[in-house]
Amino acid sequence: MVGWLAEYLSGFGNEFSSEDPRCPGALPKGQNSPQVCPYGLYAEQLSGSAFTCPRPTNKRSWFYRILPSVRHKPYTTVDNGNLTETWDEMHPDPNQLRWLPFTILKSSEKKVDFVTGLHTICGAGDTKTRNGISIHMFTCNTSMIDRYVLTFYHLRLFLSVPQQGKILVTTEFGKMMVEPKEICVIQQGMRFSVDVFGDTRGYVLEVYGAHFELPDLGPIGANGLANPRDFLTPVAWYEDREVANGYTVINKYQGKLFSSQQDFSPFNVVAWHGNYTPYKYHLSNFMVMNCVAFDHADPSIFTVLTAKSTRPGVAIADFVIFPPRWGVADHTFRPPYYHRNCMSEFMGLIEGHYEAKEEGFQPGGGSLHSMMTPHGPDGACFEKNSTAPLKPERVAEGTMAFMFESSFSMAVTKWGLETCQKLDKSYYKCWEPLRKHFDPNWRPSKQ
């Protein structure tokens, strides 16, 4: 981390430019690809969209680097570990599924870095047609250092949600320190590595088919939810060094992992400009909207980012959070309602206790409610909130839960159902205490 300070550029989807301060004037003046670049650098473009996309959706950045990324040895296949896109290895399971916190191996038992610590839980679709998603857990205890650099060739984006332990993400654009309750997004083709500082765990969403956007606000107006100014992009930082055994660059291509060797650092970008960048966001900056009269609003009001499908209003994936907020609704059952959804809902818990299930759903675990699978508050939550005094109260204080919601029907992997040994097979029992309250003799009171 020599020469690096935690500095960022503010904004979402902006046209940014950045130079490492050690090389002032590294960005060419007035053009992208001069005959000779300043400092003897190479110009290289990273395209995140087709050249002919409309200007509002056209994404690209220009790098000015010490050596171009094309100089590497041929790629060879490597073991995928528990990272998979084989969605038919297990029989479909329509049940409500919940996982206990996933185990983090101690470094004294086995050294596990970010790459080897990725485990696919569920997903759908296909990277070849670039239409689908996958959801992973990462559990690791060791930094990637020089051995690995990771890049994803087919996904549109890679959203990481650390739950335990901060991570230092080094990219070609610069570095980002990402702590629990922050998220970071690495977009298609961007090379990165992950340093950790002890036992580390978190969640990952891969989206194959679309870039994340901020959700439209409609009648909310110009301000609210995740504000663009709170998204942070790293500033340029480079290293010019070689290591004895070279760098191993891992890429994920058509669902498989490949590696190649090169003798120079992939993070040798001295300056860059463009609108196609990695970024991070702190969830505490989310401007919460909530019901102030009656009823429970739909969770779409908590959407941080959305990856839209070609169908209006239908997302390939939404990233939704359930942050601390006020509950003030009158004559209302305030927790989430019972629900059967045409979307799939994967939930994770970063900290605290989720309001609809205060027991059983734990930080570092997860749940999957597949499309049209019934779900909702457990028995204890229903009884408590059916009789609770309806006074203004803080909801989810000290808690941060989130949801990856998708229009895809998710297949669960063998690792998710069996190998991890964290599936809570008693999950269904949390609804068994629900009892019948029906009274055929009830009549409306006369006003």
72 is in an annotated binding site: no
Q: Who contacts 177 (Cβ-Cβ below 8 Å, separation ≥6)?
A: 6, 166, 167, 168, 169
Least Cα distance to 139 among 83, 209, 189, 211 occurs for 83
Determine the distance from the C-alpha atom of residue 197 to the mean position of all C-alpha atoms in its chain, rounded to a whole number. Answer: 20
Query: In this structure, what is the dihedral angle of CA atoms 394, 400, 406, 409, given to the nearest 10 degrees?
Result: -100
Distance CA 203, CA 183 (A): 10
Q: Tell whether 383 is in a known binding site.
A: no
304 contacts: CB under 8 Å, gap ≥ 6? 183, 225, 226, 281, 283, 286, 319, 320, 321
Q: Annotated binding residue at 354?
A: yes
Q: Are 354 and 399 in contact (CB under 8 A)?
A: yes
- Comparing C-alpha atoms, which of 280, 277, 278, 279 is closest to residue 61? 277
Q: Is 375 flagged in the annotation as binding?
A: yes
Give the span between the Cα atoms of 245 and 393, in whole angstroms.
59
| Residues taking part in catalysis | 296
At 413, list the tokens: 């992997």
Number of residues assigned to the chain: 447
Residue list, annotated binding site? 339, 345, 354, 375
Residue list, annotated binding site for homogentisate? 354, 375
Residue list, annotated binding site for Fe cation? 339, 345, 375
